[in-house]
Structure 1
Amino acid sequence: MQQYDYIFCGTGASASLLLLQLHQNNLLQDLNILLIDPDKKGKKDKTFCFWADVEEPISLDLNPLISHRWDKVVLSGDKTQSILPLQYNHVSSIDLYNQIHQLTLHYNWQKIISYVDEVKADKEGPFIILNGSVLRAKYIFDSRPPVYKTAQVRETHIFQSFVGWMIETENEIKDSNAFRFMDFHIEQQDSTQFVYVLPFSTKTALVEVTRFGAEKMSLTDAEELLDHYVKNNFGKYSIQDIEIGCIPMSNTGINNTQLPGIVTMGARNYQIKPSTGYAFKNMYYQARLIVEAIKQNQPIEVFNKSKSKAHKGRFSFYDGLLLDILKDKPKEGKPIFEALLKNVEVKKILNFLDEKTDVATDLSIFYQLPWKVFVSTLFERSFSFTWFRPLILTFITIFFLILSNHSALQNYLAYGLIMIGLVTVGIPHGAVDHLLETGKWNMKVAPLFIAKYLFLASFMGLLWYILPFLALVIFLAYSSWHFGQADGKKWLLSKWSSTFWGASVLFYILGTHLSETNKILAVMGNLTLPIACPAWLLLPWLVVAIFHKNASFALTVFWLFLSAYLPLLISFGLYFIGQHSLTGWQDVRNHLKLSNSRMWIHSLPFHATAWIFLLCFLVFWSSAYPFEETKRWAVFFIFIACISFPHVISINVVYRSKE
């Protein structure tokens, strides 16, 4: 079995920078090293750029590789600004690869052009599987392209796709000593798109069009944008070289396994800054840390980053906020960046992107940006914290309890809030079942779906009219299952635990308001709930929530306990809308991959029809019972029971897909 000192799985920028650092520190003598990469690295395939102080280690160490430097930047309106003592540096990938090729010959390393099958470790140490063979080493440096996990709550994965032309112009470039930084004078195409210009002489420049967005930019779109931009800004031109690439902009997790003797590098080690796509400078400083540890005989696996370690702190929060905007509100990208470049000194921006600013400076930068989009996105992100909504519901419950001595005001505010909730999510969350059934509004399929939906709802309505006791039993059974299904998926409860939770909530709300419940049940069919619910019914669930350290679960139990001291309709309304409907709405939205506004519009025909049916219910039942408030609520609950029956069946598609 072949044994090496170091195996490099990938010989891109991060591996090359580490090898250069090891060489400069005389740490490669007499080492048996294997380089593996599916590409020969024999041509220019990338452009590496970074900004740094002229006296910074990266500027000094990489000085022989830096092919061009700029200390001025051109902003919107051809305004030029100095960035000294910073410089913007360019490194051609082929120059870096050639350096490694020379080291390979000098040290007589072995290089294999191939993909690595697997990187593993056992009790004997780290090893790779290459074409079925096992190769071992003291350390394995893994810089293969990362495999990102599916984005979870508060995680975003988009792309920085780009196409660059190295051009030669007939006309001279106005200021070849200044680079153009994020020029947004191009079509945005429902994305965030801009152009970089890096002039290398008075007649040559790299012109690169870049898109930040969930969809990658097509080559055709990029070529049209570049041709139009170059002709407008430089006149006639010829293309000398083309560069095409895509960089992930992501704060999602990476499928890495932390194993002894395996060191992850580059993008695989979260070195790409999520909000910019810049990574070269981070890779350099990771290489320096590894070299210092090797010199001191310290373990180097400690520099492997986990997601929690990579994405923490306020700058990670800023990155996540911007990624959300670029993904969900791409048209806002241009005004944000244009305001940033117009109102904030470029040196301050670059230091901010390097995460070297203090909080006061951060706030001074944010003050110059369009604030509404950040506030709305922050508000939306706040709702993605599982504990946030239960906390708000706790405050709302306490607020209504304070108003208990002012019943008129309490009812006015509470019923107003419930009505708003019913219109926005309460009824609409169950009015997109046609999308779950058909995948889209298809007139060939929809009539059959509508007929089935109406049949199930009518069946429940008829059952309430003929056999109200049986209808009540069925309603309580499927409501317990449905309520528990939505909450249980969120809190990772088992199927039986979820159903038991749903039943506990339903019977707690009804049983702690026994007098009010029985008044409504009497109108619904001379029914009664014979046993009051003890206040301690939810206590075991509080113990479960605390045991599992689930703040969202615990807060929900707490505010439900408090809601027992509110009127029945307010207590049920808070749970039905604030807990159940909003959870169901989010689950359906994520399943269909629709925005809130688009989903509400899709639901409009059906939830508008639902309100019409409710009016019909009121008219129908008013012929049998005197028209009074208790009767109206009884009709409303029968209406909810009827339309929820087919909804419970349809929504199962969402929760079954999560299993």
Structure 2
Amino acid sequence: MKYDYIIAGSGCAGLSLLYRMLKDSQLSQKHILVIDKDQKVKNDRTWCFWEKGNGLFEEIVTHQWETLEFLSDDFQRKFDMTNYRYKMIQGIDFYDYVIGFAKQFDNVTFASENITTITSFDGFAEVVTDNTTHKAMYVFNSTSLFYPKMNTENSLLQHFEGWVIKTKTPVFDKNVGRLMDFRLSQEHGATFMYVLPTSETEALVEYTLFTEKVLEKEQYKVALQNYIKSYLQIEDYEILHTEFGIIPMSLAKFSRKVPNGKNIINIGTAGGFTKASSGYTFQFVQKHTENIIDLLKKEKHPNPTLTFRDKMYQWYDRTLLEVILSNKLEGKEIFATIFKNRDIETILAFLGNESSVWEDIKVMSCLPIMPFLISGVKQL
């Protein structure tokens, strides 16, 4: 059978695109195939992001914070947000929400198959799996098939282990999210903790590093145990859930376009929508998939063209990443300088690619000039 659209990969990007298609009256009757070797039945990740107002997935937001906290060795600061809210969505809630909605449509098919190749021909694309071959007008790919070459010279890994813990007595302020706590050893590279309380007795505590390689599993465990005991001063707690993840932060160019693949469109991390300087993905995926829907409705090629501002933000990201990779400055020093000297709304607008040029200048002007000038010229 030939489909209108094939979505290769049913993670954040694939399911976000599917949901937007099915919510649109013009596209909801298209024949859509979603292929992934894994069924989405586990709570395998947590997405946290900042957003103004209510978003498309507001109904499944687990918790949101109006106040964020940043901690480093020489200062601690709480930021009360005016426009933004920091939000959390659990992976299993997202999967259940989108897949449950999609199962109401007879024109949507889910296939649990391992994808081996994706190829574009004149007027259609083809997905080959271990079982069969599928064809469609367009394939939206979020698999790693077209990832660029990454190595320790051009890339870091953002890797993390998170624990959802529950205490017997109230210890957390559920209104304050600890966005970054850099009061940790930086021996491996940029290293910090998140603490995101969802009640007075429950919180996600996550150990996060930007380094060239992952640690031994026991090292994450020890770091989390020490932090919970020494910094949170919690002795008695229960671990309700654990998660581990790795996100590429790379100078290698993740392109929306596939060479000789006009009918293949990369989405998600594959399409460059994991922010290279921070690893944030969820909101960038939402903006990208919304643009794709707009183009499909206009019967245009569904690969949004990068704007001048898009290219500027990519340059900012590559410059910051090159500064860290070349050891000109530590990640801890960069983030601490920004959060110490600028207001939270400006910082979040800048990190979310929603800032004005004036706000860009405000953020960049508080950082040391020479390291960023040298790296910026190199990344032009």
TM-score of the alignment, normalized to the shorter chain, above 0.5: yes
Structure 2 distance, partners of 1:123, 1:132, is: 24
Q: Report deviation, 1:30.
A: 4.0
1:215 aligns with 2:198: no
Counterpart of 2:331 in structure 1 is 333
1:62 aligns with 2:57: yes
When structure 1 is superposed on structure 2, of 358-367 and 3-12 the one drifting more is 358-367
Q: Report deviation, 1:191.
A: 0.7
Match for 2:313: what amino acid? F
Structure 2 distance, partners of 1:277, 1:140, is: 25
Unaligned 5+ runs, structure 1: 386-659
Match for 1:368: what amino acid? C
Q: Report deviation, 1:217.
A: 3.3
Counterpart of 2:103 in structure 1 is 105
Counterpart of 1:434 in structure 2 is none
Change (3 A) 1:211 1:146: farther
Counterpart of 2:128 in structure 1 is 129
Counterpart of 1:353 in structure 2 is 351
Q: Report deviation, 1:87.
A: 0.2
Structure 2 distance, partners of 1:240, 1:281, is: 27
Summarize the alignment of residues 25-174 of structure 1 with structure 2, pairs less than 5 Å apart: 25-54=24-53, 59-76=54-71, 79-108=77-106, 109-123=108-122, 125-131=124-130, 133-145=132-144, 147-150=146-149, 156-174=154-172
Counterpart of 1:240 in structure 2 is 240
Match for 1:250: what amino acid? S
Structure 1 distance, partners of 2:305, 2:104, is: 29
Q: Secondary structure at the match of 2:227?
A: helix
Select the structure that is richer in helix. Answer: 1
Aligned residue among 291, 297, 300 for 2:299? 297
Per-residue CA deviations over 1:11-62 (Å, capped at 9, x if unaligned) read 11111111111222224544332211011001111111111111xxxx3322
Q: Percent identity?
A: 26
Change (3 A) 1:123 1:313: closer
Match for 2:323: what amino acid? I
Per-residue CA deviations over 1:545-597 (Å, capped at 9, x if unaligned) read xxxxxxxxxxxxxxxxxxxxxxxxxxxxxxxxxxxxxxxxxxxxxxxxxxxxx
Per-residue CA deviations over 1:504-540 (Å, capped at 9, x if unaligned) read xxxxxxxxxxxxxxxxxxxxxxxxxxxxxxxxxxxxx
Q: Report deviation, 1:253.
A: 2.3
Q: Report deviation, 1:132.
A: 6.0
When structure 1 is superposed on structure 2, of 334-343 and 351-360 the one drifting more is 351-360
Match for 1:80: what amino acid? K
When structure 1 is superposed on structure 2, of 233-242 and 98-107 the one drifting more is 98-107
Q: Secondary structure at the match of 1:260?
A: strand
Q: Secondary structure at the match of 1:281?
A: helix
Q: Report deviation, 1:199.
A: 0.4
- Contact 2:251–2:322 at 8 Å: present in 1 too? no
Structure 2 distance, partners of 1:317, 1:104, is: 37
Q: Secondary structure at the match of 2:95?
A: helix
Q: Secondary structure at the match of 2:135?
A: strand
Select the structure that is richer in strand. Answer: 2
1:321 aligns with 2:341: no
Q: Secondary structure at the match of 1:110?
A: strand
Q: Report deviation, 1:72.
A: 0.6
- Contact 1:13–1:280 at 8 Å: present in 2 too? yes
Q: Report deviation, 1:190.
A: 3.5
Cα RMSD after superposing both structures: 2.6
Match for 2:196: what amino acid? L
Change (3 A) 1:226 1:149: same
Structure 1 distance, partners of 2:260, 2:94, is: 29
Counterpart of 2:279 in structure 1 is 277
Per-residue CA deviations over 1:149-182 (Å, capped at 9, x if unaligned) read 3369xx8311111110001123423421110011
Match for 1:268: what amino acid? A
**TM-score, normalization: structure 1?**
0.53
Q: Secondary structure at the match of 2:301?
A: coil
Structure 1 distance, partners of 2:179, 2:379, is: 34
Structure 2 distance, partners of 1:365, 1:250, is: 22
Q: Report deviation, 1:146.
A: 5.5
Structure 2 distance, partners of 1:286, 1:9, is: 16
Summarize the alignment of residues 422-571 of structure 1 with structure 2, pairs less than 5 Å apart: none
How many corresponding residue pairs? 371
Q: Secondary structure at the match of 1:337?
A: helix
Counterpart of 2:173 in structure 1 is 175
Q: Report deviation, 1:105.
A: 2.4
Change (3 A) 1:103 1:192: same
Q: Secondary structure at the match of 1:39?
A: coil
Match for 2:119: what amino acid? K
- Contact 2:158–2:209 at 8 Å: present in 1 too? yes
- Contact 1:178–1:199 at 8 Å: present in 2 too? yes
Change (3 A) 1:44 1:134: same
Match for 2:304: what amino acid? F
Match for 1:134: what amino acid? T
- Contact 1:156–1:251 at 8 Å: present in 2 too? yes
**TM-score, normalization: structure 2?**
0.89
Q: Report deviation, 1:251.
A: 2.6
Q: Report deviation, 1:310.
A: 9.6
Counterpart of 2:370 in structure 1 is 375
Structure 2 distance, partners of 1:304, 1:38, is: 30
Q: Secondary structure at the match of 1:31?
A: coil
Structure 2 distance, partners of 1:330, 1:183, is: 22
Unaligned 5+ runs, structure 2: none
- Contact 1:264–1:304 at 8 Å: present in 2 too? no
